[in-house]
Structure 1
Amino acid sequence: MTLTVGAASVLAPNYHPLPVTLVEGLGSWVTDDEGRRYLDLLSGYSALNFGHRHPALTAAAHAQIDRLTLTSRAFDHELLLPFAERLAALIGPLVAGPPMVLPMNTGAEAVETAVKAARKWGYDVKGVPADRATIIVVDGNFHGRTTTIVSFSTDPDARRGFGPYTPGFRIVPYGSVDAIREAMDETTVAVLVEPIQGEQGVVIPPESYLPGLRALCTEHDVLLVADEIQSGLGRTGTTLASELWGVKPDLVTLGKALGGGVMPVSAVVGRADVLGVLTAGTHGSTFGGNPLACAVGIAVIGLLETGELQARATTLGLHWGARLDTLVDEGLLASSRRAGLWAGLDVTPPLTGRQLCERLLARGVLAKDTHGSTIRLAPPLTITVEDLDLATDTLTDALR
């Protein structure tokens, strides 16, 4: 069965999925409603970094479902502080200052939380005049689809038709420290950036970009906010992509993989003096930090604490990258970009990214196109080298 969207369906047509209906998944593989198996190279946009139904994650979820699933933040529960402590221990050494954790649900909620915290810090601590705080963002960004976030999107599909737009954001070219310097003034409270732009096609910045932003933000007492919702938690071969450049952001937004593909879990982690401005009543969430989310989140953190999965993403990524480079050298791809087990591949017209994904689907591999001529690949960090080679062989066949 394939879902029909639009006029013939009760389901709003806000997605254009490939024609496959999935019913089961395990590890790197999924099965459709006709019994056909597919190798999943999308991993739920990195939400499934540990594969489908990782035993440690499903066990944690099952055990917690039988005990307590929700209290709301009107009451404490026994897993909230342990989750925050474990996440602070994992991410704290990677941010600029003693860490604090604020749990939420979705990635977009984490970004909205970071925006609110940065503004309030700007007013309460930096002394920006009321209602004048500005945040600098970059073109090609993707931070979610709430009304505030699409106000500073440069993607016409995400932005068009949803005005009036939220003020307070300045958009500058991606990859230019000078452009951010020119946009800064006494009202600037933060620079919000993805260390690697995922939705844009795994676009990697110039080597000096993140270090330059860190130095600039420090110089002007501006918060560096890294959106690591797609790039974080092992995807790039490091716990945070920011580590690739030795940069420690002031705030980090996490999501997707933090819930292990079991349920939505997100958080903002960063300087306690910044997140500490959000006092009781100033921000909240009914489901944020709920017991089930914390149980799964603690299990996810446990998978990352040893560093084994990050090292695996690095090693497999180098092997994979060499093969992808060969496809470029042979002229089968226009270009490729990769960090760890994350790749953006540009096809040569007249072939489109969607057409390549359809060819891969017919050959038993799942991938997703973006921005017309690009596909994104994000295999589970647990994928075997044999399955990774199978995926690359299938990609080669589809391109030919």
Structure 2
Amino acid sequence: METTNSETGAPELAEPHLRQLLGAAGLAVEYVRAEGNTLYLRGEEGEEIPVTDFAGGYGSVLLGHSHPDIVRCARELLDAGTPVHAQFSRHPYANRLAAELNRIVHRELGTEEPYFAIFANTGAEAVEAAVKHAEMDRVMRLADLRGELAKAAASARAAVDAGTATVPERLRARFGIVGAMDDATALRELVAHVTPLNEARLDRRPLFLALEGGFHGKLGLSVQLTHNESYRAPFRGLAAQARFVPRENPEALREIHERERGAVFALTVSGGRVDVVEREFPVFCAFLVEPVQGEGGIHVLSGEFAGEIQRFCAEIDCPVVVDEIQSGMGRTGTLLASSPLGLRGDYYVLAKTLGGGIAKTSAMLVRQARYRPEFEIVHSSTFAKDSFSCTVALKVLELLEADDGAVYRAARERGAALRAVLDGVAADFPEQVREVRGAGLMQGLEFHDQSAAASDSVRELAATGLFGYFLAGHLLREHRVRTFPTASALNTLRFEPSVRLSDVELDRLDVGLRDVCRVLAAGDGARLLGRAAVAG
């Protein structure tokens, strides 16, 4: 496939297929400048055209594009020649960033337990770091269990050799030990039978738990923890195995555990008799949870289900990885969207707004009770933990915390104003809008499925699988409003603007969404494609 740039005549080599899809949906525009809650696209005459940005860098620019304090910080760092590449040395700026994250997390969780920080570049990389650490912890726990099983077997052998314990007939029959033999020989047979069974079970590949609709990245490991089948299927053979839990369904947790749980045989001595009991071992490496599912359609986790997940994971000793990549960093009114739910993670993953819309950085936090210092030797990242990104992230936290958390309050207030607009549209167009969901400045508007629409043109657009992108293209072309559908729920438009969102911009969104609904009500698929003028 070869695509040619219509302006230059040169071949398109940077993701040309995606470029074609954007063009079909009316989204293939070039943005030349960004400021506040506005992106400026280049018009046909080279002029700048302002566009209200409700996509917000998929949640990366809570503080707005080109925030002056962050830009100033970045310039000062670059002008001073701050070292970006000083690996394997002291990084006091990274330590200050970890300490500030801990201070805020402690306040929100009401805990003093330290969280150790591993820094990365992107959210998906931070997810992979969390999952790798969780698997290292699981493997080390399995090693401890192997040692305990060996110690238990040695204790049983010592008791039999001392004549203080016997191997009863019931136990011999259970494991197929037949024929007349003394207790010491029977025990050796028993151990020889049980040991390879245990090893086979302990060598089982780990399982991960994640919620249906969840999105945790598209890298080799993280993509298998993302629920969208079209993302996972081509790479199924590469990495992790996940079991996806239906949202708000605590019964499913028990069912999955009962079906997948693992147990080994442990020798015990009680009342002068050797016995074998089952001991559960950690099959489940981690449970990944988004407090607000971004790409899955902006679904908010309930406090009740969060509590069920917490209790379940504590019972089976499965760590909870709270993915705050899109929902965290103040977007819903607190640093962690999970903290008001009462959900406490063993791991937290932060990214996007952490870099202030300029630095590419992320952080994986691990609570002390789970932390394995050995991980620091086997995991690293060339561009992580550098002076530039850490110092910019510190400036972001400073801005979030300033004026007793004014940004958090603004996120709640502006989020409520955004929600009021979306609720108003939904109330006036119930035949077009199915539901409004979200928290703070992370909202979603789900449209009804149009695959059975009366209009042939609308039905054809729905059949492409890109329906939400055509709606977004209409909003951009006709109303200079920028948004996208969520990646795994294409009938849901996302709204993740900055805290600098104005009432004028909300009015523009209101007008645009009402126009979209009227176009759908009229069955005018041609207009969604921008063809109304041609048809006329």
Partner-residue secondary structure (3-state), 1:147:
coil
Amino acid in structure 2 at the alignment position of 1:148:
L
- Deviation per residue, 1:74-128 (Å, 9 max, x gap): 1223422212211222224445732111111100110001101111122224756
1:68 aligns with 2:76: no
**1:10 and 2:13 are equivalent in the alignment:** yes
Deviation at 1:14, TM superposition (A): 6.4
Q: Rg: which structure is higher?
A: 2
Segment of structure 1 superposing worse, 215-224 or 119-128: 119-128
Output the CA distance in 1 between the equivalents of 2:100 and 2:58.
Answer: 24
* One-letter code aligned to 2:99: E
| Aligned position for 1:369 | 485
1:93, 1:276 → 2: CA distance?
24
Aligned to 1:110: 126
Quote the offset at 1:198 in angstroms: 0.4
Q: In the alignment, is the contact (CA less than 8 A) between 1:71 and 1:77 conserved in 2?
A: no
Deviations 1:329-364 (A, max 9, x none): 112422111210111111232563222211110111
For the pair 1:54 / 2:172, whether they are aligned, the reply is no
Q: Which moved more, 1:263-272 or 1:323-332?
A: 323-332
User: Separation in 1 of the partners of 2:385 and 2:203?
Assistant: 31
TM-score, with structure 1 as normaliser: 0.92
Residues 64-213 of structure 1 correspond to what in structure 2 (within 5 A)? 64-66=77-79, 67-94=81-108, 97-125=113-141, 127=144, 129=202, 132-184=205-257, 185=261, 186=281, 187-213=283-309
Percent pairwise identity? 30
The 1:390/1:167 distance shift into structure 2, 3 A limit, reads closer
Question: CA 1:206–1:88 in 2, change beyond 3 Å: closer, same or farther?
Answer: closer
Secondary structure at 2:360's aligned position in 1? coil
Give the C-alpha shift of residue 288 in structure 1: 0.7
The within-5 A match list for 1:353-392 is 353-362=468-477, 363-370=479-486, 371-392=489-510
SS of aligned partner of 2:234:
coil
CA distance in 1, matches of 2:420, 2:438: 10
Change (3 A) 1:171 1:263: same
Q: Is the 8 A contact 1:102 1:275 kept in 2?
A: no
Q: Answer yes or no: is the 8 Å Cα contact 1:91–1:269 preserved in 2.
A: no
User: Comparing both structures, which one devotes a greater share of its residues to helix?
Assistant: 2
Cα separation, 2, equivalents of 1:295 and 1:265: 11
> Structure 1 residues 164 and 13, CA, compared in 2 at 3 Å: closer, same or farther?
farther
Give the deviation of 1:188 after TM superposition: 1.9
Q: Which amino acid aligns with 2:424?
A: T
Residues 280, 335 of structure 1: CA spacing in aligned structure 2 closer, same or farther, 3 A cutoff?
Answer: closer
**1:293–1:14: structure 2 CA closer, same or farther, 3 Å change rule?**
farther
Deviation of the 1:151 alpha carbon: 2.4
**CA pair 399-354 structure 1, distance change in 2 beyond 3 A:** same
CA distance in 1, matches of 2:87, 2:242: 31
Instruction: Name the amino acid aligned to 1:100.
Output: F
C-alpha displacement of 1:209 = 1.0
| 2:40 corresponding residue in structure 1 | 31
- Greater shift, 361-370 or 93-102, is seen at 93-102
RMSD: 2.3
Counterpart of 1:319 in 2: which secondary structure? Answer: helix
1:271 aligns with 2:367: yes
In the TM superposition, what are the counterparts of 1:279-358 in structure 2 within 5 Å?
279-305=375-401, 306-331=404-429, 332-348=432-448, 349=450, 350=453, 352-358=467-473
Question: 1:117·1:278 contact (CA, 8 Å) conserved in 2?
Answer: no
Partner deviation per Cα, 1:308-329 (whole Å, 9 max, x = no partner)? 1111111122222222112111
**Is the 1:38–1:365 contact (alpha carbons within 8 Å) kept by the matching residues of 2?**
yes
How many angstroms apart in 2 are the aligned matches of 1:320 and 1:296?
28
Unaligned segments of structure 2, at least 5 residues = 146-201, 262-280, 459-466, 519-536
3-state DSSP of counterpart to 2:381: coil
Quote the Cα distance in structure 2 between the aligned partners of 1:274 and 1:77.
Answer: 23
Q: Secondary structure of the residue that 2:369 maps to in structure 1? A: helix
Shift of the 3–204 alpha-carbon distance from structure 1 to 2, 3 Å rule, reads farther
CA gap of 1:37–1:167, structure 2 versus 1, over 3 A, is: closer
- One-letter code aligned to 2:255: E
SS of the residue 2:433 aligns to:
coil
The number of equivalent residue pairs is: 397
Aligned to 2:209, the other structure's residue is in SS state strand
CA distance in 2, matches of 1:125, 1:161: 32
CA distance in 1, matches of 2:372, 2:229: 36
**Aligned residue type for 2:122:** T
3-state DSSP of counterpart to 2:222:
helix
Greater relative contact order, per chain length (Cα 8 Å cut-off, separation 6+): 1
1:253 to 329, 337, 349: 349
User: Does the residue aligned with 1:57 lie in a helix, a strand or coil?
Assistant: helix
For 2:419 and 2:122, locate their aligned partners in 1 and report how far apart those are by CA, in whole Å. 31
Moved over 3 A (4+): 13-17, 92-97, 125-133, 275-280
Q: What is the one-letter code of the residue matched to 2:69?
A: A
For the 8 Å contact 2:108–2:339, the answer to whether it is kept is yes
- Which residue is equivalent to 2:197? none
TM-score by length of 2: 0.70
DSSP 3-state at the match of 1:135: strand
CA contact 2:213–2:297 (8 Å) conserved in 1: no
